Structure 1
Amino acid sequence: MTSSSTSSSRFPRISTHGVPRRCWCGEGITSFGSSTAENRYRRFYRCEIAKDRKSENHLFKWIDEALLDEIQRVDAKHERVAQGLSNFEEKVMTNVKSEIARLELEMSQKLKEKVNLEIARVEKEMKEKLKIATVGMVVAVAIIGIWTSLYV
């Protein structure tokens, strides 16, 4: 593929990136096939009025170069989007991890509170049962003491 600098244009071209839509003069773009020996049948974009005004410097760009420019622009944009997604994913993962840590701490504290409340409830219940058992034993010992004093 021959570089666009080998064109037979008498004027330096204004640089355009990608596939052109309009010429710098505002006119539309048409595609043609080259008829020169050096670039036989190679397709190019040209300003619609440039074919009538050869002495003016209007848009000219090889189609293959325009398509390569477009591919490079799309690749660059894809890379920026991919990097943006990667950064977003990192931020989301950081937020998720910190939220998980916060929730784990909160759940751990609530679980400790519930366990402590349950331990306190069971402890109170056991103390009441122990009191009842102690009173029962005292009563039983008193009955045994009375019985033995009467019959022994």
Structure 2
Amino acid sequence: SSISSARFPRISTHGIPTRCWCGEGITTFDSSTAENRYRRFYRCEIARDRKTENHLFKWIDEALIEEIRMVDAKHERVAQGITKFEERVMEKVMVRVEHQIQMSEKLKEKGDLEIARVAHEMKHKLKIATVAMVVVGAIVGIWTSLS
């Protein structure tokens, strides 16, 4: 087929086309023009018979480059999405770790307060026991000296 891009203006499509604007399937051809000899292109099957109508025409190499660029752009968007997701997960993990640290500190404070309370209570009971023993000792001392 001898078709040049100058005779058939392109319809705007990105990447590898699957159908023409008219709904017809796409076929590949080899160019036979001097400037694009053997260069492959996509063409609407109807355009083969109706050369005056503006059906899909696209160079295969350009379509592949567009497709690669679209995949690269999508890959970049996915990579950015993953990075944002990782950042959000790390933020949540850090919030939970900080919360656990705060809870541990509160628990330690409560334990320290309980230990201090029990120590104070034991000292108080020890003082009472000491005073009781001194009083009992004094009474025994007095009792033995009177008897």
**TM-score of the alignment, normalized to the shorter chain, above 0.5:** yes
CA deviations on 1:29-69 (whole Å, 9 max, x unpaired) are 01112222322222111101111111111111111111110
* Cα distance between partner residues in 1 of 2:131 and 2:61: 101
Distance 1:20 1:8, change over 3 A: closer
In structure 1, which of residues 16, 19, 39 is the aligned counterpart of residue 16 of structure 2? 19
| Structure 2 unpaired stretches of 5+ | none
* Cα distance between partner residues in 2 of 1:40 and 1:134: 116
| Structure 1 unpaired stretches of 5+ | 1-6
Residue 68 (structure 1) aligns with: 65
- Give the TM-score normalised by structure 1: 0.82
* Cα distance between partner residues in 1 of 2:106 and 2:6: 80
CA deviations on 1:100-122 (whole Å, 9 max, x unpaired) are 22222222112211221232123
The aligned length equals: 144
Residue 58 (structure 1) aligns with: 55
- Give the TM-score normalised by structure 2: 0.84
Residue 44 (structure 2) pairs with residue 39 (structure 1): no
Residue 134 (structure 2) aligns with: 137
Displacement of 1:18: 0.2
In structure 1, which of residues 102, 116, 130 is the aligned counterpart of residue 113 of structure 2? 116
The DSSP-based 3-state class of the residue aligned with 1:50 is helix
* Cα distance between partner residues in 1 of 2:130 and 2:64: 95
State the one-letter code of the partner of 1:18: G
State the one-letter code of the partner of 2:35: E
